[in-house]
Amino acid sequence: MQSVLTILNAIERGETTPRAAVAQSLDTIAAKDAAMGAFVALPERDKALAATDGAAGPLAGIAVGVKDIIDTYDLPTGHGSPIYAGHRPASDAAIVSLLRARGAMVAGKTVATEFAYLQPAATVNPHDPGHTPGGSSSGSAAAVAAGMVPVAIGTQTGGSVIRPAAYCGVAGYKPSFRLIPLVGAKTFSWSLDTAGFFAATAADAAAFVSRLTGRPLEVEPVDPGSLRVGIYRTSIWDQADADTRAAIELAAERMTGAGATLVEIDEPPALAAAREAHSTIQNFEAGLALGFEYDHHRDMLSDILRSALEQGRAIAPDAYDAARSVARRARHETGDLFRSLDVILTPSVTGAAPRGLSSTGSPVFNKLWTLTGNPCVNVLGIVNAAGMPVGVQLLARFGRDRLALSAASWLESLLAGAEVGAQKS
């Protein structure tokens, strides 16, 4: 994988140039993407490199994949749907304007599932093309995992950053809700949609977002002796497979072995209820956000999306308001957990990426934390006996993104090369 920090340090030392770094990414895309299917639109190489010649800023030389529900004025934005084939926005989304202003280059639009929902797209998993890369930020995760770009932007409404990051074996960072603007991205659920980032490591993700936003998010040393870690198996622990359970136990063992204090957490009833409220909020808002597409292009929607929109349109406003009240209580309850904890360890996914491309996998271990808005990081390093990544997730108090990233970077160092499970037939 390409590293944001390695590239930026090499440019600073004069060992390469922004143009050469971007050219390497474009060349790797050209060499690999036909087999991977991570990109749906690419810039003209000569024009992209010419623009890089004049680039300045803290991210000059960084080629970025941008999820295809995020507007770009110079590349089509298709939202993963035939309804928007060839659609050319008149302007960039706010996050794209920001990355260009910081000197980064849009290396292409990465494949997204249909309107960032559950209908699988064409991208395959870089570790094994017979397995899903996850979704909905399929192309963003795969592009980073395959070494085509050092960083890619995705979004998460349920589990669309953490899940594909776990399946593809990269760092996935979902910031605190609204830390990053999503103006100019296709809305699915305005209460849940959150920008996210994929990179080779948590430190790379932190370095990129720090330079992008101007916020102090770079990883800093963690003192294990003062770190209080909550292990949160949740009330749906039975949905985690043997490899995921083993990965959580291994991560907990490595952290306590390094000096951290481990605290077992029973899931509060308010958080279990909030997990169910997520679907009510998501589908109600999607039924409104995609009302035009449903009313005018219903026959061009997948069955799974059409069904979700119909469910959302059937939800009464008072049921939606009740679900929002549940969500508010859950956010308060989550804040209470962090009175005695620094970070929480919990599964990223139910297991390694499923075989086949007919599903993007389950977001069941992600959607609660999207609802509460906490910063989450998929921590890479563990693989199963078949060599497929098995992710674990760290989250911190709302607004403590730097702690989440720093703890994740520390845990990465403890888990490097770790393996769980037995060889499957």
Cα separation, 12 vs 229, whole angstroms? 37
pLDDT band at 55 (very low <50, low <70, confident <90, very high): confident
Give me the catalytic one of 3, 25, 67, 176: 67
What is the DSSP pairing of strand 105-110 with strand 39-41?
antiparallel
pLDDT the model gives residue 54? 82
Query: What are 336-381's pLDDT values in tens digits?
Result: 999 999 999 999 999 999 999 999 999 999 999 999 999 999 999 9
What letter represents residue 104's amino acid? A
Q: How far is the CA of 371 from the CAs of 184, 201, 279, 329, 416, in angstroms?
A: 21, 25, 10, 11, 30
Between 216 and 421, whose confidence is greater?
Answer: 216
Query: What are 255-286's pLDDT values in tens digits?
Result: 999 999 999 999 999 999 999 999 999 999 99
Cα separation, 153 vs 68, whole angstroms? 10
Percent of the chain with pLDDT over 90: 98
Give me the catalytic one of 137, 138, 160, 210: 160
Residue 423 has pLDDT above 70, yes or no: no
pLDDT band at 293 (very low <50, low <70, confident <90, very high): very high
Mean pLDDT of 237-242: 97
32 is catalytic: no
91 is catalytic: no
Give me the catalytic one of 136, 189, 362, 409: 136
Q: What is the mean pLDDT of the chain?
A: 97
136 is catalytic: yes
Query: What are 302-332's pLDDT values in tens digits?
Result: 999 999 999 999 999 999 999 999 999 999 9
Query: What are 63-88's pLDDT values in tens digits?
Result: 999 999 999 999 999 999 999 999 99
Mean pLDDT of 32-43: 98
Say if residues 234 and 33 touch (Cβ distance below 8 Å): no
pLDDT the model gives residue 424? 44
Query: What are 121-172's pLDDT values in tens digits?
Result: 999 999 999 999 999 999 999 999 999 999 999 999 999 999 999 999 999 9
Q: Is the dihedral of CA 290, 294, 296, 298 positive or negative?
A: positive
335 closest CA partner among 397, 273, 396: 397
Percent of the chain with pLDDT over 70: 99
- The neighbouring-strand residues paired with 389 are 383
Cα separation, 345 vs 332, whole angstroms? 19
Domains contained in the chain, CATH given: 1-425 (3.90.1300.10)
pLDDT the model gives residue 210? 98
Mean pLDDT of 3-25: 97
pTM for this one? 0.97
